[in-house]
Structure 1
Amino acid sequence: MATQKISLYWKEGVHFESEGPGGMVSIDGSEEVGGQGKGLRPKALMLSALAGCSGIDIGSLIKKMRIDVDTFDIDVEAELTDEHPKFYHKVLVNFNFYGNHLNQTKIEKAVSLSIDTYCGVMEMFRQFATVETKINYFPKQ
């Protein structure tokens, strides 16, 4: 069984740096709790992890499946519960693909493999939230 470790370093106030496999990221709280905009907020990092996990899968699958895509991006929107502790209970993941010769069948297979098989962060989110996914296609301009 694999184990991962991060270290969190206090910089000042509610600003921290998190170091883990592959790099560092700055974390800061909201202005209401003394944050100064020096990093991502922890819940936003969760959404970034979700998009990043699936993005890495899809980027790898685009290469393996030889899918012709100019570029793609992922937008994640999430709704928090009203009561503390507030957590995401609804999540929408938009997969946006750009190009003039998009093979939608191959793209749908790549996205499906990511969200149903490979992306562990997606599975973690499903443990506490309703997750909806949507694939969008845009011509190159």
Structure 2
Amino acid sequence: MEFKMHENGFESEFDFGKLTISGNDEFGFRPFALLVSSIAGCSGGVLKKVLTKMRIDYDDIKIAADVKRNPDEANRVEEIKVHFIIFGNDISETKVAKALETSSKNCSMVQSVKGSINVIETFEIKKSKA
């Protein structure tokens, strides 16, 4: 990857498109938002694969992320809570708990920050609308 500086941050070209990063959210994605997005996106993607492999039928997944930062230490990210809302009918909570445990162990982004950022993953199951 190569990042080129511009007046308000940095940019990089990827196959999917241009990524603009800036400490000011008027000019690009903020670094902490990209960090949290990579954790949530990776964890959600792995969870989808695990649920499918376990033959757990679901209709949709939404992810809510909450970040705890420490203003006394360069606004360091100390904790990321990732909450999965899984929509479906007749879904076993026990199986989803096992799937989430497996996905956390296999998410490269969660494993990359292990020991420096506390990642807490929770879930709830909601009935799909008929």
TM-score range, shorter chain: 0.7 to 0.9
Which residue of the other structure, out of 97, 100, 114, is the alignment partner of 1:126?
114
TM-score normalised to the size of structure 1? 0.78
1:63-110 residue CA offsets vs partner (Å, 9 max, x unmatched): 222211010022211111112422111221111101122222222221
**Structure 1 segments unaligned to the other structure (5+ residues):** 1-5
Q: Distance in 1 between matches of 2:99 and 2:15?
A: 26
Which structure would you say has the larger RCO, counting Cα contacts within 8 Å and 6 or more residues apart?
Answer: 2
- Deviation of residue 57 (structure 1)? 0.7
Kindly indicate whether the alpha-carbon contact (under 8 Å) linking 2:2 and 2:12 is maintained by their aligned counterparts in 1.
Answer: yes
Q: Secondary structure at the match of 2:102?
A: helix
- Can you give the 5+ residue segments of structure 2 that lack an aligned partner in the other structure? none
Change (3 A) 1:23 1:90: same
Q: Which amino acid aligns with 2:56?
A: I
1:95-110 map, 5 Å = 95-110=84-99
Let me know the Cα RMSD of the aligned residues: 2.1
Partner residue of 1:13 out of 7, 18, 24: 7
3-state SS in 2 of match to 1:73: strand
Give secondary structure in 2 for the equivalent of 1:7. Answer: coil
CA contact (8 A) 2:8 2:27 kept: no
Q: Quick one: percent identity of the two aligned structures?
A: 28
What is the SS of the residue equivalent to 1:110? Answer: helix
Per the TM alignment, residue 133 of structure 1 is displaced from its structure 2 partner at its CA by 1.9
1:74 aligns with 2:41: no
Residues paired across the two proteins, number: 129
